[in-house]
Structure formats: C-alpha cells, structure tokens
Amino acid sequence: MEKNPDDLAAHLLHATANDHPDAHLPAGLRTPLHPEVVDRPDEEKIAAISKHFRAIMLELGLDLDDDSLAGTPHRVAKMFVQEWFKGLNPAHRPEVRLFENRYQYQQLLVERDITVFSACEHHFVPIVGKAHVAYLPGQHVVGLSKLNRVVQYYARRPQVQERLTRQIAEHLRLSLGTPDVAVYIEADHLCVMSRGVNDTSSSTITSDYSGKFLEDNQLRNEFLRQIGK
Ligand SMILES: Nc1nc2c(ncn2[C@@H]2O[C@H](COP(=O)(O)OP(=O)(O)OP(=O)(O)O)[C@@H](O)[C@H]2O)c(=O)[nH]1
Ligand SMILES: [Zn+2]
C-alpha cells in the first residue's frame, strides 16, 4: 500500500516552533540540536559567531587590523550560517513537489552525480563527494531537482556520512510515499586527507536500500550499473 505523499507535507505544515526541525525523521536520524538556539534569527547567529571567530583568530596570533583579515570573522560567520550549515535552518527545507504519474512510468529513475558539499562534525572540515539516488515511481513522480535539493539540505550541516545517507533516504521515502528508494554516497573527507592519517587516496562509500531495492538483487545491480559501479 502506498503512503499518502501529503502526509509529510501535512506534518511539516503543523509543526510548531518547539518541534525539532527533523521531527519527521526517527529520533536516531535527527541531527543533534540545542533547542534554545535553533530559532535564533540568522543575523544574531552571524554576529555571535563572528565575535567568537575573531577570538580564535586572535588566539592564533593574527593581526585583525590587517585589511585582508579584518573582515574574515564576519565572512566565516556568514559562510557557516548562510552556506555551509544552511541545512540546520528548517526554513531551507525543500518542498518536494510531486506530479501525477499519468504516463505510468514505473521503471527505475536514477538521479546520479549529485554534488555533495558537507562538513565533518568531528573536525568542521569539508566532506566533498557525489550522491546517487533512485526510486521506483508509483502513482506520483517527483520534480527531479527536488532530489538534488533534499541531498543538499541534509548535506549542508555538520555531518557524519552514515547519518547523511540515512536522512536523505528516509526523507525521500516519506515525501515520495514509497519504500522503493536507494541512496549511494561516495565522498572524500578532508579530515582524513589533510590531517590525522593524511591519506589522500582513500574515500568513503555509504548506501541505503529499502523496499524493492533490498528485495530484488537485479534491481539493485541495475542501479549500481547505471551509476557506473
Ligand atoms: N563514522 C564516521 N567517522 C567519521 C566521519 N568523518 C570523520 N570521521 C572520523 O571520526 C573519527 C573521530 O575520531 P577521534 O579519535 O575522536 O578523532 P581524532 O583523534 O582526530 O582521529 P584521527 O582522525 O584518527 O586523528 C575519526 O576517525 C574520523 O576519521 C564520518 O562521516 N563517519
Ligand atoms: Zn573529521
């Protein structure tokens, strides 16, 4: 039985300010958030982060009066709030628009090579990679760009790749109203490449298969073939 794709939209519509922004996801998949800070306006967050980052730069011994460095605390704060971590703000959660599947397209649909820019939550350095997502349409098809937008929404947070993969898969299952979803992410972690073990050649692969992708090896292999694996 297909779940009504309006369920997620209805839930989000009725979510109150006190709800966790990931309240639609199972508890273990929610990004750990501090309840009092989530609702602060962007301008307040940028001002506070800017102040703290300035202190970090001073501790490093940098001259904040230098004309090239003077604006850096504000630049970094703006980048964190409005770009790198914009997925922490539920105002940026994409609306997943569905269309009636009048043409009865029922084969595999793959959106491949979706750019992933994220950040490792342990070291706050970039995770860069590609996501490949697929689903089997039922009564509805999704506007293609919404698949990219869902990936980007969850990527633009401090992350671990496993949770990112599972959040995307769960969100797609809910919003598409089908369990037949596959998510595959391959990414380079700057925390592994540029420090610690300093390994510039290893990369990390994660995947999430559900519904027919779990039951049907042929379908899963076709997905993997289509993404060049
Ligand atoms: N499971 C998982 N681990 C990650 C991810 N990104 C980074 N890590 C790891 O998080 C771990 C943090 O381990 P710690 O031992 O606390 O940190 P550390 O001393 O900086 O570790 P090293 O990187 O080994 O120097 C490291 O092993 C990282 O490689 C991710 O997406 N998933
Ligand atoms: Zn890291």
Question: Is 192 close to ligand 1, i.e. is its CB under 6 Å away?
Answer: yes
Question: Is 199 close to ligand 1, i.e. is its CB under 6 Å away?
Answer: no
Mark the binding-site residues for Zn(2+), compressed into ranges.
Answer: 120, 123, 191
CA distances from 226 to 141, 149, 180, 184, 195 (A): 19, 21, 16, 12, 34
Per-residue pLDDT of the chain (229 residues; tens, 9 = 90+): 344 555 555 555 445 555 899 999 999 999 999 877 778 899 999 999 999 999 999 999 999 999 999 999 999 999 999 999 999 999 999 999 999 999 999 999 999 999 999 999 999 999 999 999 999 999 999 999 999 999 999 999 999 999 999 999 999 999 999 999 999 999 999 999 999 999 999 999 999 999 999 999 999 999 999 999 9
Residue 174: per-residue pLDDT? 97
122 CA distance to ligand 2 middle (Å):
5
71 CA distance to ligand 2 middle (Å):
26
Q: Which ligand number lies closest to the CA of residue 126?
A: 2
189 catalytic? Reply is yes
Residue 2: per-residue pLDDT? 46
Residue 157: per-residue pLDDT? 98
Question: Is 118 close to ligand 1, i.e. is its CB under 6 Å away?
Answer: no
Distance of CA 105 to the CA centre of its chain: 27
> Taking the domain 95-226, which CATH number applies?
3.30.1130.10
Residue 156: per-residue pLDDT? 98
Mark the binding-site residues, compressed into ranges.
Answer: 120, 123, 191
9 CA distance to ligand 1 middle (Å):
36
By C-alpha distance, which of 42, 46, 47, 70 is closest to 57? 70
Distance CA 135, CA 213 (A): 9
- 3-state SS string for the chain: CCCCCHHHHHHHHHCCCCCCCCCCCCHHHCCCCCCCCCCCCHHHHHHHHHHHHHHHHHHCCCCCCCCCCCCHHHHHHHHHHHHHCHHHCHHHCCCCCEEECCCCCCCCEEEEEEEEEEEECCCCCEEEEEEEEEECCCCEEECHHHHHHHHHHHHCCEECHHHHHHHHHHHHHHHHCCCCEEEEEEEEEHHHHCCCCCCCCCCEEEEEECCHHHHCHHHHHHHHHHCCC
Domain boundaries, the chain: 95-226
111 catalytic? Reply is no
By C-alpha distance, which of 206, 136, 221 is closest to 172? 136
What is the distance in angstroms between the CA of the first residue and the CA of the last residue of the chain?
A: 31
CA-derived radius of gyration, the chain: 20
By C-alpha distance, which of 115, 112, 121, 113 is closest to 88? 121
Look at the chain and count its residues.
Answer: 229
The catalytic residue among 24, 132, 171, 189 is 189
* Most ligand 1 atoms within 8 A of CB, residue of 122, 192, 193 to mutate: 122
Question: Is 196 close to ligand 1, i.e. is its CB under 6 Å away?
Answer: yes
The catalytic residue among 123, 139, 186, 226 is 123
